[in-house]
Amino acid sequence: MKIGILGTGTVASTIGTKLVQLGHEVRMGSRTMDNQKAASWAKSNETKASHSTFADAAVFGEIVFNCTSGSHSIEALKLAGEKNMRGKILVDVANPLDFSGGKLSLTVCNTDSLGEQIQRALPKTKVVKALNTVNSDLMVNPSLLNGSHDIFICGNDPSAKSEVTKILGDWFGWKSVVDLGDITAARGQEMLLPFWIRMMGVFKTSHFNFKIVRE
């Protein structure tokens, strides 16, 4: 499959590399044509990998991953172009984190979420919030942790969620994908982050995840 990745950070390169390893063609998009991190990533992943602008990556992808930092996602998606993503699935991995105040806060939460903002900005795109609650190593390799643990998705389009659930399972190895409902559930998914950051401090690792224990 042809896949577009928006962003050039650790999440973007980790997901991009995994997708290339699985045999997909991946184009990493950034603000400019000559982004050094994107060029370096594309070079290290050879023929299946390329890099270009946000818009080129959005046009290229049959499915698109938003791996930009949350505080810049809306701007990046505008550059990617609403038209270029119409009818496509956008897997939104971003978190609206703001470290500017010394302590972590979210740029949006409680009565709105980044996932909802993105869905409103791209009304004809099937936005599925996913993977934002784990470290990038775990996103593509959940078996780094022993035992079962859960990943969460939400979105307004049931068939898009089915496809993302299949991708998470077949490509990345997630055995338990919990569908939280429509895109407003992104509030809950994103609001896990202040807790997540504290847990990372307590356990001195980012390799941990939530498991929901039930009766």
Cβ 67 to a second copy, closest distance in Å?
22
Site for a second copy contains 175 (CB under 8 A):
no
Exposure letters 148-166 (e unless 16+ CB within 10 A, then b) = ebbbbbbbbbeebbebbbe
Cβ–Cβ under 8 Å, residues 149 and 211: yes
| Gap between the Cα atoms of 134 and 149, Å rounded | 11
Q: Which stretch binds a second copy (CB under 8 A): 25-33, 52-60, 72-80, 175-183?
A: 175-183
State whether the Cα torsion 87-88-89-92 is positive or negative: negative
Closest CA to 6 of 28, 23, 24, 26: 28
Site for a second copy contains 212 (CB under 8 A):
yes
Q: Identify residues 186-205 at the interface with a second copy (CB under 8 A).
A: 187-189, 191-192, 194-199, 201-203, 205
The tally of CA atoms less than 13 A away on the side-chain side of residue 45 is 26
Q: x/- contact string, 4-43, with a second copy (CB under 8 A)?
A: ----------------------------------------
Q: x/- contact string, 132-171, with a second copy (CB under 8 A)?
A: ------------xxxxxx--x-------------------
CB nearer a second copy, residue 3 or residue 128: 128
